[in-house]
Amino acid sequence: MAAPTMNRAGSDSGDSAVQTLTISKALNMGLRAAMEANPKVLMMGEDIGKLGGVFRITDGLQKDFGEQRVLDTPLAESGIIGTAVGLAIRGYRPVCEIQFDGFIFPGFDQIVSQVAKLHYRTQGKNKLPMVIRVPFGGGIGAVEHHSESPESYFAHTAGLKVVSCSNPTDAYWMIQQAIDCDDPVLFFEPKRRYYEKAPVDTTKAPGPLFESRVLRTASNSASAGTSTSAGQAATLVGYGPMIRVCLDAANAAAEDGTELEVIDLRTLSPLDLGPVYDSVRRTGRLVVVSEAPSESSITSEIAAKVQQECFYSLQAPVLRVTGFDTPYPPSKLEEEFLPDLDRVLHAVDRSLAW
């Protein structure tokens, strides 16, 4: 195995701790750092070796770590997950790439029946430290099965943990934290945002993996001295690719004097809703945003929990802006299907007018 030279920020010049990275590059660097830190970390997936993955997330890793640590696997998702289970029992920490969201279902049985339950079945004697990476969501003009948001299936399954990153810093750190976790983690990557850039501090993790994060509060987002007043603020909650939409909506609303607090869930199972409750107690209004369909979903769960915990603070029902309860449509219709700034603001207006 070659000893790779990690172009780790901070090691070559004093000021390079912060680099501007795309989500895709940040994931690549995070995976590399995890492989360097622990020789038991393996990558498994279709076309992830020489090709570097169809999205190039594993670019260069096989070259530097060898074919025994970056496995170009046979084309079989149940095989990827099922053999990763055996490798995890053997002491490895497999990181599986599912090429596209819609291709995870051949592996669904292994995920639900084995990955999720082995620790429980063995009363803790078998740990399953594995990560299943899934590029998810639409907006890339793809054919069927390439734009889906299946995260609710996994959040509904006891024994799994489910997270989604929305920005390069989280991409870099969350993937490493997921690999360090002794529980199996479904890691949903917002594929339409892979090439969005932001500065990343590669020396210090911004926080634990299983915490949501407040990205914008009414008080600190107020511009030009506007102050929050009752009836003019609301909370937006989203994750993954919808965070960009939520932040854009908040910026647009601010110009009209409406303050939107924005919370990035980051962890979908377990949900970390403490910051959401705090925000809703301030604003009295909540709009939950996801690409996934609304019925029996993560957004449903949030609505249920918030009405339970913030019943007397709510000034309007919890509203949801989601993909529709249809199969993902042909891509010429996806702009209608996917929540966007206008649909989010429309929901905010409905909430404020309640």
Kindly tell me the number of DSSP H helices and DSSP E strands found in the chain. 13, 14
By three-state DSSP, how is residue 111 classified?
helix
116-175 residues near other proteins, rule: CB under 8 A:
118-129, 158-159, 161
- State the pairing for strand pair 18-22/41-45: unpaired
Piece of the chain touching other proteins by CB under 8 A; list 170-178, 223-231, 269-277, 333-341? 269-277
| Tokens standing for residue 314 | 């709510």
Q: Is 90 in the site for other proteins (CB under 8 A)?
A: yes
Q: Is 183 in the site for other proteins (CB under 8 A)?
A: yes
Distance of closest approach, residue 246 Cβ to other proteins, in angstroms: 23
Of 119, 145, 146, 346, the active-site residue reads 146
Q: Is 78 in the site for other proteins (CB under 8 A)?
A: yes
Nearer to other proteins, 196 or 309 (CB): 309
Neighbour-count burial of 220, counting CB atoms closer than 10 A to its CB (0-12 exposed, 13-18 middle, 19+ buried):
exposed
Q: Catalytic annotation on 119?
A: no
Please answer whether residues 91 and 130 qualify as being in contact, where contact means their C-beta atoms are separated by less than 8 angstroms.
no
Neighbour-count burial of 14, counting CB atoms closer than 10 A to its CB (0-12 exposed, 13-18 middle, 19+ buried):
exposed
14: DSSP letter = T
Q: Is 92 in the site for other proteins (CB under 8 A)?
A: yes
The string of DSSP letters for 156-170 reads TSTT-EEEE--SHHH
Q: Is 271 in the site for other proteins (CB under 8 A)?
A: yes
Number of residues that bind other proteins (CB under 8 A): 46
Piece of the chain touching other proteins by CB under 8 A; list 14-22, 57-65, 87-95, 233-241? 87-95
Nearer to other proteins, 114 or 232 (CB): 114
Where do contacts with other proteins occur on this chain (CB under 8 A)?
68, 73-74, 76, 78-79, 81-92, 94, 106, 109-110, 113-114, 118-129, 158-159, 161, 181-183, 269-272
